[in-house]
Amino acid sequence: MSDKRKPEWAPLNSGSEFASRIVSGENTIVNPMSNRDNKKTARQYELSELVEGVRDSNRTLLSKAITLIESNSEKHFQMGQELLNQLLPLSGASIRIGITGVPGAGKSTFIENFGLSLIEKGHKVAVLAIDPSSCISKGSILGDKTRMEKLSCHPASFIRPSPSAGVLGGVARKTRESIILCEAAGYDTILIETVGVGQSETTVRSMVDFFLLMQIAGAGDELQGIKKGIIELADLIVINKSDGDNIQRAELAKQEFSNALHYIRHATDSWQTKAVLCSALFNDGLDVIWDVVQDFKLATINSGAFKKRRTEQSIQWFESLLAESVLHSFYQSKAVIQLLPELKEKVSQGSLPVALAVSTLISAGSR
């Protein structure tokens, strides 16, 4: 042991009894002046801290709470669900608006300017996204959120990009739960952006009160992804980019949609779907759209359709999550994991009837 390792106060000529060991410093000691909260991960928060943070509308803590919900780890599931359970009574008092349309239709531009105009009216706006492409690849067809720079800077807004998939209930469950958290944090208008690809419109329709389909003039039905049935989901068709040289064509498109709307089933009882013009870029027509949303809310609350839809949505959510959970735990069962390859092999060789293979597996999995 060298003298260098002895404390300064050790007597001269003392022996190794005064020697000390140098221990490496603890990395966790942080400067109390620095913003420690930003460095904590969602899991390092106490449940009560997150609950109170969301209640106080603290955007950092709301963000952490959503990250907890989005965690793919089974371990965090319990804490996330407890968080939801405590905040659920504070949710529900908002209007949930879904916005769909092909990439480039102007959804993000619309959300930014519409959101800002609502904030000016005194609302608090949360924006969530469901991006089906994020399930398949890392790419995003909803585009970057830098388009909403002005809105995201505003303290009365909260913007959350699409979660990654790969968990029970997938992106849809996470978005539904994020809606609850945002409402508990006091956001009274929830805007959910999605792209008209695959199942995403139906998914969004199943979690919103009002569904807005954004179209552009002259792009043609196929380009706009108008599949049979999509118009039937909409409570409002917005023909965007009605500005400059485009105004006439937009007007024509509005006429066509208005005519088509005479022949289809409307998405919501006691509500007549209509088509309106707008220029998201030039802030034109946004107030009219908000008026339509207000009219819709009033009409459907009065007729009971608003409440009925929310109730149905909860039951539907419960049923789909239940079905998925049952399937999940079935495939997790040891007996199923063991037996499945063998049964598959036999079925593929034609040596076991398919229905028998299924019933064998079911009884093994439910033991």
Ligand X SMILES: Nc1nc2c(ncn2[C@@H]2O[C@H](COP(=O)(O)OP(=O)(O)O)[C@@H](O)[C@H]2O)c(=O)[nH]1
Residue 143 or 161: the one with the smaller Cβ distance to Mg ion is 143
Pairing, β 157-160 against β 236-240? unpaired
Three-class secondary structure of residue 55 per DSSP: helix
Tokens of 186: 């006091």
Q: Which does 218 bind (CB under 5 to 8 A by kind): Mg ion, ligand X, none?
A: none
From 99-107, 115-123, 184-192, 355-363, give the range in contact with Mg ion by CB under 5 A.
Answer: 99-107
Q: Which does 243 bind (CB under 5 to 8 A by kind): Mg ion, ligand X, none?
A: ligand X
Q: How far is the CB of 90 from ligand X (least distance, A)?
A: 30
Q: How far is the CB of 282 from ligand X (least distance, A)?
A: 6
Q: Which helix (H) or strand (E) holds 213?
A: strand 210-216
- Contact letters (x/-) for Mg ion, 102-131, by CB under 5 A? -----xx-----------------------
From 8-16, 33-41, 143-151, 223-231, give the range in contact with Mg ion by CB under 5 A.
Answer: 143-151
Distance in angstroms (rounded) separating the CA atoms of residues 126 and 77: 23
**How many amino acids of this chain bind Mg ion (CB under 5 A)?**
4
**What is the DSSP code string of 7-28?**
-TTSPTT--GGG---PPPPPTT
Q: How far is the CB of 76 from ligand X (least distance, A)?
A: 31
8 A C-beta contact, residue 99 and residue 210: no
8 A C-beta contact, residue 238 and residue 216: no
Read off φ and ψ for residue 328, nearest 5 degrees. -60, -50
Residue 244 or 341: the one with the smaller Cβ distance to ligand X is 244
Query: Binding residues for ligand X, per CB under 6 A?
Result: 101, 103-109, 143, 147, 240-241, 243, 279-281
Closest residue to ligand X: CB criterion: 106
Residue 59 or 249: the one with the smaller Cβ distance to ligand X is 249
Name the β-bridge partners of 192. 98, 128
Single-letter code of the amino acid located at 212: L
Q: How far is the CB of 206 from ligand X (least distance, A)?
A: 21
| Interaction between residue 143 and Mg ion (CB under 5 A) | yes
From 139-147, 161-169, 231-239, 303-311, give the range in contact with Mg ion by CB under 5 A.
Answer: 139-147
Closest listed residue to residue 193, CA positions, set 294, 108, 95: 108
Q: How far is the CB of 248 from ligand X (least distance, A)?
A: 14
From 7-15, 137-145, 227-235, 340-348, give the range in contact with Mg ion by CB under 5 A.
Answer: 137-145
Give the 3-state DSSP-derived string for 65-106, with helices as H, strands as E and coil as C: HHHHHHCCCHHHHHHHHHHHHHHHHHCCCCEEEEEECCCCCC
8 A C-beta contact, residue 184 and residue 90: yes
Q: How far is the CB of 203 from ligand X (least distance, A)?
A: 18
**What is the DSSP code string of 123-166?**
--EEEEEE-THHHHSS--SS--GGGGHHHHHSTTEEEEPPPP--
Residue 31 or 146: the one with the smaller Cβ distance to Mg ion is 146
Q: Which does 105 bind (CB under 5 to 8 A by kind): ligand X, Mg ion, none?
A: ligand X
Give the number of residues written for the chain: 367
Q: Report the interface residues with Mg ion, using CB under 5 A.
A: 107-108, 142-143
